[in-house]
Structure 1
Amino acid sequence: MDPEISEAPTPHGPARVHLHHPDGAPAGMLMLGHGAGGGITAPDLQAATASALAVGCAVALVEQPYRVAGRRAPAPIAQAGVAWIAVAAHLGKGEFAGIPLVTGGRSFGARVACRTWSETRSSGVVCLAFPTHPPGKPEKTRQPELDAVAVPALIVQGASDPFGRPTPPSAGRLVVVAGDHSLKKDHATIRAAVGEWLGSLLG
């Protein structure tokens, strides 16, 4: 079934939401963001969407305002975080009020979710290809963003990711799959990991 596409207001312009409904009443909502220069059609985001729907979770794939405005270069991450929080508040109204929200995304989107998990009142965070540091620059680590997540977290990382391999936070789980930062190789393992983790989290 094709997703419902709508816009969500944010302080930095509208974001675009592609909403997928599961069969029956949703057990939760998984809100996923894209990479810095990529989009919501990334293979790992699509794999996560399929597994979330299979365990009865609604999925919102969110295009940041800079992408909606036609810009490929990412907004500053703090600005992206403000927009992300606004979209989460928008989705928490109406039919999705009162159900658990799990946030996440790939690469840049994963960083945004980690930095805003408290403000979005996330029950958990899914990180696909978390960019632990810029390629070749391990001294510029982003590990503290992940360490700050105090709710259950799932990190799916490519074995040969040039952006490094993170250490999961205290309530986190790291799953290493074949491939690099694109996570294009082992979709079956990605689907299984996300589905099992979400199913356990949502009961």
Structure 2
Amino acid sequence: MGREYGGVIETETVPTPSGDARITWHRGARKARLVLALGHGAGGGIEARDLQALAEALPGRGVTVALVEQPWRVAGKKVAPAPKTLDAAWTALWPALEKPGLPVVAGGRSAGARVACRTGRGLGACAVLALSFPLHPPGRPEKSRAEELTGAGLPTLVVQGGRDPFGRPGEFPPGIRLVEVPGGDHGFAVPKAPGTREEALAVITGAVADWLDGIA
């Protein structure tokens, strides 16, 4: 456990049918009003810049952030399993996310966003946060996953890079609440210029914080 930004960080191991998952809790010094659970993508872990920025910024605003590592990642494997396996592990660890006794927003980046959309309503989440939602494989817009997003059945916010090859903001269905990160790619990296990375992260954290204020 370590102290950071006026709060605490704790790590918890949770067994699932696919092996142990790991939750890294980021709690603020002030009393929390909800939990934001964030899963990672298929190509990386919770070290992703957007996940870390939210874990740093939100606890001070009354949001406990739970960064969730899927069992395949905890085990050191390099390839993510099938979506049904990801969903099953997320479902199994969900009770641990509810332990603080607060409303839980299901979320994640890329593949983690898909998991949140598919399972959130059934698990009792109060909303869904989709970071870099992979609307389609790069160059294959006909392989749309929009149904997962529109079928979430919960208040949903999409945060998408303006040049994300997995789906640019203008490709999303009408009616989806979406915040664009100008110039951002799938990992929210932006063209090199002074301050641009910090500005991109500020867009993400500010938009999510304001949206969560409305959810709470």
How many angstroms apart in 2 are the aligned matches of 1:14 and 1:113?
19
Contact 2:97–2:104 (CA under 8 A) maintained in structure 1: no
Q: Which residue of 1 aligns with 2:28?
A: 22
What amino acid is the match of 2:188? L
Q: Which residue of 2 aligns with 1:200?
A: 214
3-state SS in 2 of match to 1:45: helix
1:47-94, Cα deviation, whole Å (9 max, x unpaired)? 22233213201111010000111101001111101111111112213x
Q: Is residue 115 of structure 2 the alignment partner of residue 115 of structure 1?
A: no
How many angstroms apart in 1 are the aligned matches of 2:202 and 2:87?
30
How many aligned residue pairs are there? Answer: 198
Q: Which residue of 2 aligns with 1:69?
A: 75
Contact 2:146–2:172 (CA under 8 A) maintained in structure 1: yes
How many angstroms apart in 1 are the aligned matches of 2:56 and 2:123?
23
1:15-47, Cα deviation, whole Å (9 max, x unpaired)? 011011112321000100001020101011112
1:140-197, Cα deviation, whole Å (9 max, x unpaired)? 1111000101211110000111001353675x41001121111134111111101100
Counterpart among 131, 135, 144 of residue 138 in structure 2: 135
Contact 2:30–2:60 (CA under 8 A) maintained in structure 1: no
Q: Is residue 54 of structure 2 the alignment partner of residue 40 of structure 1?
A: no
Q: How does 1:90-129 map to 2 (within 5 A)?
A: 90-93=96-99, 96-97=100-101, 99-129=102-132
3-state SS in 2 of match to 1:37: coil
Q: Is residue 158 of structure 2 the alignment partner of residue 152 of structure 1?
A: no
Contact 1:149–1:169 (CA under 8 A) maintained in structure 2: no
Gaps of 5+ in 2: 190-196
3-state SS in 2 of match to 1:118: helix
> In 2 relative to 1, CA 147–117 (structure 1 residues): closer, same or farther, beyond 3 Å?
same
Moved more, 176-185 or 161-170: 161-170
User: Whose RCO is larger (CA < 8 A, sep 6+)?
Assistant: 1
Aligned-pair Cα RMSD in Å:
1.5
How many angstroms apart in 2 are the aligned matches of 1:104 and 1:54?
19
How many angstroms apart in 1 are the aligned matches of 2:174 and 2:81?
26
Identity of aligned residues (%): 47
Contact 1:30–1:60 (CA under 8 A) maintained in structure 2: yes
TM-score by length of 2: 0.87
TM-score by length of 1: 0.92
3-state SS in 2 of match to 1:62: strand
How many angstroms apart in 1 are the aligned matches of 2:172 and 2:126?
20
3-state SS in 2 of match to 1:175: strand
> In 2 relative to 1, CA 138–173 (structure 1 residues): closer, same or farther, beyond 3 Å?
same
Asked which structure has the greater CA Rg, the reply is: 2
> In 2 relative to 1, CA 103–169 (structure 1 residues): closer, same or farther, beyond 3 Å?
farther
Q: Is residue 93 of structure 2 the alignment partner of residue 87 of structure 1?
A: yes
Gaps of 5+ in 1: none
